[in-house]
Amino acid sequence: MNFEVTILGCGAAAPTNRHNPSSQVINLHDKLFLVDCGEGTQMQMRKFKVRMQRINHVFITHLHGDHYLGLMGFISSMHLLGRKAKLHVFGPAELWEIIQIQLKASSTFLVYEIEFHAVSMDEKQLVFEDKTIRAYSFPMKHRIPCSGYLFEEKERKPKIKKEEIDRYKLQPSQIIALKNGVDVTLENGHVVYADQVSIPADALRSYAYCSDTAYSEKVMDAVRGVTTIYHESTFLDSEKERAKETFHSTAKQAATVAKNVGATKLILGHFSSRYSDDNEFLVEAKTQFDNAILADEGMIIHIE
């Protein structure tokens, strides 16, 4: 099943010639989730061929402009394109007031419905769930209330070996029973033992989005055990005092978080424009955590 992330923007603060503000699309089991929507996000979607109308859920971390100023443009374009499906928007409670004010001021009456979900900024919260996946919000340590998001697969049943299905001519109801660990007795009296014909399900995958945040034990507790983590690295460690003052992280701190939570991959992003070479972030991170990569616009990352 699909689990991949498309980076639309990974820069900090204002857009530059190198990076757009924060935004990415998560394709999880063929459902598209937009996480943050900085200025220019819908243009990045067009550029990188993201199917906008397939996005039914938008998750906003906080109300600094580089994380949400593209949202009204996205909402308006969906209206102009004749969207019919409901759009679910998750974020700080104040975001709903901002959306309503802008719609009212422009006398825009949407042809589709927005359902707004206020996210807790104080505790980890289950915000989305279906048969195969869950999404949580969790508080981050920033200058204003800010929430990260954790996406994870649900436990799956073991698989039944195809050759055993063919060998015993197993029926759907028998396959379901075996997946549930129940032995099956065939018409000829032969017993098919579940533990002998099953294959363990694929390992579960998860993805945490942590931008913006200072280095935080509470954040680590919220995402412990995640397989892939995107963590802001606004500064290099030479400016860790500046990072502390502005409630941001260094590349070294981001790598330390990845190591401490047991992640298998770290994606660095939210780069300050004061640095001319992003590779400096990677060099610093790899002193703490080897499997680190740099985010870049248009990059598609497969979550494993």
Model pLDDT for residues 134-161, shown as the tens digit of each residue: 999 999 999 999 999 999 999 988 888 8
Residue 168 has pLDDT above 90, yes or no: no
Residue 175 has pLDDT above 90, yes or no: no
Least confident window among 50-59, 169-178, 267-276: 169-178
Q: Show the tokens assigned to 140.
A: 């981050």
Tell me which amino acid residue 194 is.
A
Q: Which of 1, 4, 69, 76 has the alpha carbon at shortest distance from 33?
A: 4
d(CA 40, CA 84): 23
Q: What pLDDT is stored for residue 143 in this prediction? A: 96
Give me the mean pLDDT over the 279-304 stretch.
Answer: 97
Q: Which of 84, 76, 80 has the alpha carbon at shortest distance from 54?
A: 84
Helix 71-80 with 93-105: angle, nearest 10 deg: 50
Give tens-digit pLDDT for 28-80: 999 999 999 999 999 999 999 999 999 999 999 999 999 999 999 999 999 99
Q: What pLDDT is stored for residue 301 in this prediction? A: 98
d(CA 215, CA 141): 7
Determine if the peptide bond prior to 212 is cis (ω within 30°).
yes
Residue 26 has pLDDT above 90, yes or no: yes
In this prediction, residue 1 has a pLDDT band, given cuts at 50, 70 and 90, of: confident
d(CA 245, CA 173): 60
Between vectors from CA 194 to CA 189 and to CA 200, what angle results, nearest 5°? Answer: 160
d(CA 236, CA 115): 39
Mean pLDDT of the chain: 96
What global pTM score does this model have?
Answer: 0.92
Domains and their CATH numbers in the chain: 3-156+202-302 (3.60.15.10), 159-199 (no CATH)
Q: What pLDDT is stored for residue 104 in this prediction? A: 97
Task: Reply yes or no on whether 66 is catalytic.
Answer: yes
Least confident window among 25-34, 87-96, 185-194, 262-271: 185-194
Q: What is the DSSP string of 66-116?
A: GGTTTHHHHHHHHHHTT--S-EEEEE-HHHHHHHHHHHHHTT---SS-EEE
Give tens-digit pLDDT for 92-133: 999 999 999 999 999 999 999 999 999 999 999 999 999 999
d(CA 265, CA 48): 23
Q: What pLDDT is stored for residue 233 in this prediction? A: 97
- Catalytic annotation, pick one of 30, 36, 66, 290: 66
The residue with greater pLDDT, 261 or 160, is 261
Q: What is the DSSP string of 201-256?
A: PPPP-EEEEE-S--S-HHHHHHHTT-SEEEEE--B-GGGHHHHHHHT--BHHHHHH
SS3 39: coil
Q: What is the DSSP code (8-state) at residue 288? A: T
Helix (H) or strand (E) holding 114: strand 114-118
Question: Are the beta carbons of 224 and 210 closer than 8 angstroms?
Answer: no
Give tens-digit pLDDT for 187-238: 899 998 888 888 888 899 999 999 999 999 999 999 999 999 999 999 999 9
